[in-house]
Chain A
Amino acid sequence: MALFDVSGYKSHSELRGQIIGTGVGHFIDRPNQQFSVPVGVDPSGFLKSCSREGGVSIDLNHGTTTLAFTFRHGVIVAVDSRASAGSYIASKEANKVIEINPYLLGTMSGSAADCQYWERLLAKECRLYKLRNKQRISVSAASKLLCNMMLGYRGMGLSMGSMIVGWDNKGPGLYYVDDNATRLSGRMFSTGCGSSYAYGVIDSGYREDMTVEEAYELGRRGITHATHRDAYSGGVVNLYHMQEDGWIKVCKEDVSELIHRYRKGMF
């Protein structure tokens, strides 16, 4: 750095730019299209003015419970299916898991639009990675891509809490990524407004050496008990199991039926 500046040495790219002209240089790996936003626009300020206090009410879809945990035989992913817009249930059977490829899943919580858009963009980037490198992308790299997308729009009001689940050369992988670009690898996460209820159930019932059936039951229990207490979660439990040779969709069960089945032990 010091010698560079003192000697007045011009790097190759600068010289190339002078000879060929700017604007021609293209970046092969530019992951996002940039949104053309007029100068002075403040998306997060605008969103605040749209909340109940500001007058016009645009409620984003926020209510959800999703959970995922790793255990001896892979990773279990369980999500609810209620999409709420304020106090209105917009959908009873929303799909909150995006199947990126046979070895990668992404869950969605927060703003439905943000999750769907950015995770589909992530799916496109994973596909491009595979085409360019002839090798499936690792879970760590996929989650880092999503995290960097969030960084590009920091402070602009994105709302997304997602878990990237997969199986790569290093074994089962579980990463939590959210809209302020937090990226954490771990063995158990839960997101959404019902997450605290789910944590209580899965923390107390978790054992690393569970059988597959016990793990399915724990995932179902976590979502069901969370939907019982949280008004913004409900619908059906969508349960996935990430195994070494890919994910399988285990079941799709209505929480009201599940809670009746569990009632005997509850009161």
Chain B
Amino acid sequence: MEYLIGIQGQDFVLVAADNIAANSIIQMKQDQDKMFKLSDKILLLCVGEAGDTVQFAEYIQKNIQLYKMRNGYELSPKAAANFTRKNLADYLRSRTPYHVNLLLAGFDETDGPGLYYMDHLSALAKAPFAAHGYGAYLTLSILDRYYRPGGIPRSPSRLFTIPLFYCPPSPLSRFILNLPSFTVRLIDTEGIHDLEKLMPVGAKLLAPAPSS
């Protein structure tokens, strides 16, 4: 039901997540932010079982911040991804494993942009593009078809995401569940930028959030 996507560009990473918090058949909240800021240039996108997502993501977030406080420098995206994977793996065979699927996106001064795919069995893979959720079945093939090695250049990146979400027949309009809006963020050498929320044609938001 939930959906995450990440695409690595030449000097940036573009990530998007849906905004629905659901409880069985009911949408409880339509403006949920599923991205957690680990540092100035690292975002963790987290979906999965109800309480586990926020709890695990906040645990990782606070530990990354603690590392910076103790040592004076931040963890790189690669180190943060491996730290996250280790924590997931440690809990996997315990009484209370965390059932979460993650995307970690970051920009490193030396290595450049990076996108890391992690799943609930604590597999970790660095990938040029990745997606989680049922929507992945519909969108990964488009990425396979149109992605070029070396990443996509910056200016068409916006155009790249638009067919994915916005123009009918967008692939997600094939999905039987309505995902009315998506939060989109871009990470580059200057940090994390909020892009405008994507709202596919025809989608209806209930009780729209106040402008802030």
Contact = CB atoms under 8 A, between A and B. Distances in A.
Interface of A: 1-4, 147, 150-151, 154-155, 176, 178, 180-189, 195-196, 199, 203, 206
Contact of B28 (A2, A147, A176, A181): A176
Contacts of B21: 182, 184
A184 B55 contact: no
B71 A206 contact: no
Contact of A182 (B51, B70, B206): B51
Most buried by A among B23, B49, B67: B23
A174 B38 CA distance: 27
Contacts of B52: 181
Contact of A180 (B25, B28, B51, B70): B51
Contact of A151 (B29, B55, B206, B207): B55
What is the predominant secondary structure among interface residues of chain B facing chain A?
mixed
B54 A183 contact: yes
Interface of B: 21, 23, 25-26, 28-29, 32, 49-52, 54-55, 67, 70-71, 95-96, 206-207, 209
Contacts of B50: 178, 180-182
Given A176-B28, A187-B207, A182 B96 contact: no
Given A188-B207, A203-B207, A196 B25 contact: yes
Most buried by B among A4, A178, A181, A189: A181
Contacts of A4: 70
A150 B71 contact: no
A24 B207 CA distance: 53
A180 B71 CA distance: 35
Given A150-B51, A178-B50, A182-B50, A1 B67 contact: yes
A40 to B, nearest CB: 11
Contact of A186 (B26, B28, B67): B28
A176 B21 CA distance: 11
Contacts of A2: 71
B22 to A, nearest CB: 10
A96 B85 CA distance: 42
25 contacts: A1-B67, A1-B70, A1-B71, A3-B71, A147-B51, A150-B51, A151-B51, A154-B51, A154-B96, A155-B96, A176-B28, A178-B50, A181-B51, A181-B55, A182-B50, A182-B54, A184-B28, A184-B32, A186-B28, A186-B29, A195-B26, A196-B25, A199-B26, A203-B207, A206-B207
